[in-house]
Amino acid sequence: MSTHFFDLDRDGLAQLASEHGFRSFLPKQLLRWVYEQGITDPERMTDLSKRDRERLPDVLDFERSVELTHQLATDGTQKLLMGWPDVEPGPGLNILQSGGDDRETECVMIPTEKRRTACISSQVGCPVGCRFCASGLGGLEGNLTAGQIVEQAWRLGRLDQVDRITNIVFMGMGEPLANYANVTRAIRILNAEWGLGIGARRITVSTVGMPVAIRKLAEFELPVTLALSLHAPFDELRRDIIPWAEHATIRELLDACNDYFQATGREITLEYILLGKLNDQVEHAQELARLARTLRANVNLIRYNEVAGLPFERPVSADVHRFQAILKDKGVNAHIRASRGRDIAAACGQLRHEQRQARVDDECGANGQED
């Protein structure tokens, strides 16, 4: 079974080259072709010998994903729905652990004037089950390997009008800290000067909150930005909308985040999705402000993107701006994140959910016609 190229670091490539009798400078050539030139077809790697070009496909898989859907929004946001065909796990690899063929993930490229941000997934589905989110509607279907995580960012960087990815956010499908080993291995490759060369400060890991894992990440050698998906300032409300919240109180999470700041010097981002009339009222803003002032943090306010079949509403603009004003009046640095890609179902897990539902509807229609 061949090895996934994107799962290997420089030392791993050197070991593979040695084991298969390639020349010692092959890894440097491959890293340049793939990460600098964006080329994964050995036949186009013109400085490789004919023999090496012929042998490489038997040793390395360069791209393991299949592009199922590519959508372009009017604001320039691009979204990919990617399929991961069944593969046999190679030595030491944690290939997707779920069964069946319906294994799909999403990733998004979000452009601004100065940035090209890749929002990538760490799992297929999600174990957290946030009641407002499409990602976890089918539960957790498996972990992505480091290579599958890196391949998402590489693919987004090859899209038209992108040039290069400047920032990475682990805010796609899945709970990154529940796939800690593969996520941190992927971060090393994304950060490496021979890889995508993205600085640690430009990589954000978003978590719903696992105190032990947060403290473990604080010991990671790369000081990435930590974002806590808070979404409610009261424990009871948070447990209502985030099932995993029963495992840790808000106070326990903020204590872990404070430890992260003390270890890394990196200010924490508190992510807060505003759900119309549920968590966007004055009392919620006042309590969120109190919590935010207990640590070095900024608050990122996100308007909810509606998901078909879920009973949550997008907040009205007046409530959003009132919420932000309360936070600022109390000395909290609060931003309202611009809604991007609403015309292409860019919310986390939304495209996969819609396409799966469409397939179910088609099957039901076909069965009805047969009856």
Residue 75: closest CA among 121, 26, 110: 110
Strand partners, 368: none
CA distance 115 to 163: 11
> With the C-alpha atoms ordered 217, 337, 302, 327, is the resulting torsion angle positive or negative?
positive
Residue 283 has a CB neighbour count (10 Å cut-off) of 11
Q: How many residues does the chain have?
A: 371
Place of tokens 């604080």: 218
Known catalytic residues are: 106, 348
CA distance 29 to 37: 11
CA distance 83 to 67: 6
Counting Cβ atoms within 10 Å, is residue 222 exposed (0-12), middle (13-18) or buried (19+)?
middle
